[in-house]
Homo-oligomer: A and B are copies of this chain.
Amino acid sequence: MANEKIPYKIYLSEDELPKQWYNVRADMKKKPAPLLNPGTGKPVTPEELGRVFCDELVKQELDDTSAYIDIPEEIQSFYKMYRPAPLVRAYCLEKALGTPAKIYYKFEGNNTSGSHKLNSAIAQAYYAKKQGLKGVTTETGAGQWGTALSMACSYFDLDCRVYMVKVSYEQKPFRREVMRTYGASVTPSPSTTTEVGRKILAEFPDTNGSLGCAISEAVEAATSTEGYRYVLGSVLSQVLLHQTVIGLETKTAMDKYGIKPDIIIGCAGGGSNLGGLIAPFMGEKLRGEADYRFIAVEPASCPSLTRGVYAYDFCDTGKVCPLQKMYTLGSGFMPSPNHAGGLRYHGMSAILSELYDQGLMEAKSVEQTAVFDAAQKFARVEGILPAPESSHAIKAAIDEALKCKETGEEKTILFGLTGTGYFDMYAYAAFNDGKMSDYIPSDEEIAKSVAKLPKIG
C-alpha cells in the first residue's frame, strides 16, 4: 500500500520550523479595506484599537506592508511542545476512493485544544503578558478557541475570562471543564456581569445566547477592567498571520519532498485556518511565481462567501467592535439550530474576502449530512475522527479526488485537517442515529439580514 518515496507522515525537525510568520497582505496589490470606527465612519486609529487589543497585536492588525514578522523565542518554544504538525499522505483514503489523485492533509489536532486555534492563542497570550497585563477576555462557542486560550494563559500565568455561549455551557460541559482545568473562569453568556448582557437578558430572558452576543460581553469586560484586553480566535488579520505557521510548515515539508499541490482546500468560518494554510502558496500566486487553485469550503447553512455581500459590517451583535469590510450575511444572521459544530460566524476574514473578491480563490458550500458522511468515511480509513468543521474540507477534497477518478488526472490535493471531533459526539450521535438534517437559508432570510447592514460612506 505504501509509496516508499513519500512517508505516511512528514514531520519537520525542530530547526526546520518557521521562525517568522508571513503577512500575505504585503504581497497584495489591492489591500483589504481598513477597519472603520463605527461612530465616525473613519479608519480606526491605533489608539482606538489599543483600548480593546494589546499594543503589539494592534500593530500586527494594521500592518499590511511587512512581509515577514519574527516569531518571538518564547512562542517558538511553546510551538515546539506540540509542533511540527504532521503533513499526512492519505494513502488509505486514496485507496478507498480508488482515485489516481494524491491526497495530503495537514493535521492540526494533535494538541489538547484539539485544533489549530492554539497557534494564535499562544501568540496573543504572549503579547498580553509582555505588555504587563493581568488577563484577557474572550468568547467561545462550542469551546475550541476558549480551550486553546485557557492553555495559553495557563502557560504564561495570565488570568483568562471566557464568555461561553449559554447553550454550549449547559449542554456541552466537557470543554468547559477542560478550560477550568487550565484555570480559566467560564461564564455562560448572556450574563448579568456586563451591561450588554443585562440588556440582552432583559429583552430576551430565555435566550440561549449567541457568539455575537458573547463577543460583545467579552469586549465590554476587557475595556471596563483595568489591565485586561480582549482577544479573538478568528476573522482578524493578526490571527491569520499567526496561523501561517500551518502553511509555512506545510510548504517546507512539500518542498523537501518535491511535492507541488494543484488544489488547496480548507474549511472557512472566520477564515483563520484557511488563511493560515494558503498564505505562503497565495504569496507565490500573488508574486506570479506559481499557480494554485484555492477552495474555501463553508456550510450551506452559514454561507457568507457564496451567498453573502461584500460590504462593511459589524463584527459582533452588540455592535461595539470596529466595522470591517468583508463577505457577510449581516451581523444579526444566526445559523439554523440544527447546524452542528463551528463555522457559524456571519462574516469572513477581510483578507480572504478581498482575495475571493479579486477572483484569486474559489468558494463552495456543502450540506452537513454529506459532511458527516465524509467524516465517517475518513475516520474509518485514516483513523482520525475529524471535527465537523474540518470535515467540510474532507468532503470537498473527496469530491475533487473523485473527479480525478473520472478524468484519470493525477492531481495533488492538499487540505487542512484543523482538528478532532472528540467533543462533538452529540453531532456524531445524531448522524449515527439517522437524525441529522440539512438546512439551507432562503434568499429572503439572507436578504432580510443583509438589509440591516450599516450604511457607510
* A interface residues with partner B (beta carbon < 8 Å): 1-2, 7-9, 11, 13-14, 77, 80-82, 92, 110-112, 114, 151, 154-155, 173-174, 177-178, 180-183, 376, 379-385, 420, 422-423, 425, 428-429, 431-432
In angstroms, Cα B180 to Cα A429, docked, is 8
Contact A81 B92 (CB under 8 A): yes
A154 to B180, CA, bound (A): 35
Contact (Cβ within 8 A) B382 A178? no
State whether A385 touches B181 (Cβ < 8 A): yes
- Decide if B380 touches A154 in the complex (CB within 8 Å): yes
CA distance A82 to B11 in the complex (A): 12
Given contacts A177-B425, A177-B428, A432-B181, contact A77 B2 (CB under 8 A): yes
Given contacts A8-B81, A178-B422, A182-B380, 5 further A-B contacts (CB under 8 A): A111-B384, A112-B420, A154-B380, A177-B432, A180-B432
A178 & B2 in contact (Cβ 8 Å cutoff): no
CB distance from A192 to the nearest CB of B (A): 22
Q: Indicate if the CB atoms of A7 and B14 lie closer than 8 Å.
A: yes
Q: Residues of B contacting A180 with CB < 8 Å? A: 428-429, 432
Chain B nearest CB from A107 CB (Å) reads: 9
CB-CB < 8 A to A429: which residues of B?
173, 177, 180
Contact status B425-A422, CB under 8 Å = no
| CB-defined A-B contacts under 8 Å, sample of 28 | A2-B77, A2-B80, A8-B14, A8-B80, A9-B14, A9-B81, A11-B11, A92-B155, A110-B110, A114-B422, A151-B383, A155-B381, A155-B383, A174-B174, A174-B422, A174-B425, A177-B425, A177-B428, A177-B432, A178-B385, A178-B422, A180-B432, A181-B376, A181-B379, A181-B385, A181-B431, A181-B432, A422-B423
> Given the complex, which residues of B lie within 8 Å of A1, measured CB to CB?
77
Q: Which 4 A-B pairs have the closest CB atoms?
A: A174-B425, A8-B80, A177-B425, A422-B422
Question: Shortest beta-carbon distance, A437 to chain B, in Å?
Answer: 18
* A contact patch SS: helix
Measured between C-beta atoms, what is the minimum distance from A428 to chain B in Å? 5
Q: Which residues of B contact A154 (CB under 8 A)?
A: 380
Take A2-B77, A2-B80, A180-B432 as given contacts and tell me if A112 and B379 are in contact as well, using a CB distance cutoff of 8 Å: yes
A8: B residues at CB distance < 8 A:
14, 80-81
Chain copies in the assembly? 2
Cross-chain contact B7 with A81 (CB below 8 angstroms)? no
Residues of B within 8 A of A110 (CB): 110
Chain B residues positioned under 8 Å from A384 (CB to CB): 111-112
A12 to B299, CA, bound (A): 38
Q: Which residue of B lies closest to A11 (CB)?
A: B11
Least distance between A83 CB and chain B CB atoms (Å)? 9
Chain B residue at smallest Cβ distance from A107: B110
Q: With both chains docked as a complex, state the minimum distance between the C-beta of A206 and any C-beta of chain B, in angstroms.
A: 26
C-alpha spacing A178/B110, complex, angstroms: 18
Q: What's the nearest-Cβ distance from chain B to residue A85, in Å?
A: 11
- CB contacts (< 8 Å) of A382 on chain B: these are 81
Cα-based distance from A299 to B173 in the complex (angstroms): 27
In the complex, what residues of B have CB within 8 A of residue A151's CB? 383
Shortest distance between the CB of A37 and any CB in chain B (Å): 38
Asked whether B112 lies within 8 Å of A182 as measured between CB atoms, the reply is no
Return chain B residues, CB-CB under 8 Å to A383. 81-82, 111-112, 151, 155
List chain B residues, Cβ under 8 A from A431.
181
- In the complex, A442 Cα to B181 Cα: how many Å? 32
**Which residues of chain B are near A92, meaning CB under 8 Å?**
81, 155
Partner of A80, one of B9, B81, B381, B385: B9
Q: In the assembled complex, which residues on chain B have CB atoms less than 8 Å from the CB atom of A7?
A: 13-14, 80
Task: Determine the chain B residues whose CB is within 8 A of the CB of A114 once the complex forms.
Answer: 422
Flag if B380 contacts A178 (CB, 8 Å).
no
A423 contact set on B, CB distance < 8 A:
422
Bound Cα distance from A1 to B80, whole angstroms: 11
List of B residues within 8 angstroms of A181 by Cβ: 376, 379, 385, 428, 431-432
For A173, the chain B residues whose CB sits under 8 A away are 425, 429
Minimum CB–CB distance for A248 against chain B, Å: 18
Residue of B nearest to A384 (CB): B112
Q: In the complex, what distance in Å separates the CA atom of A178 from the CA atom of B386?
A: 11
For A90, the closest partner residue in chain B by CB is B81
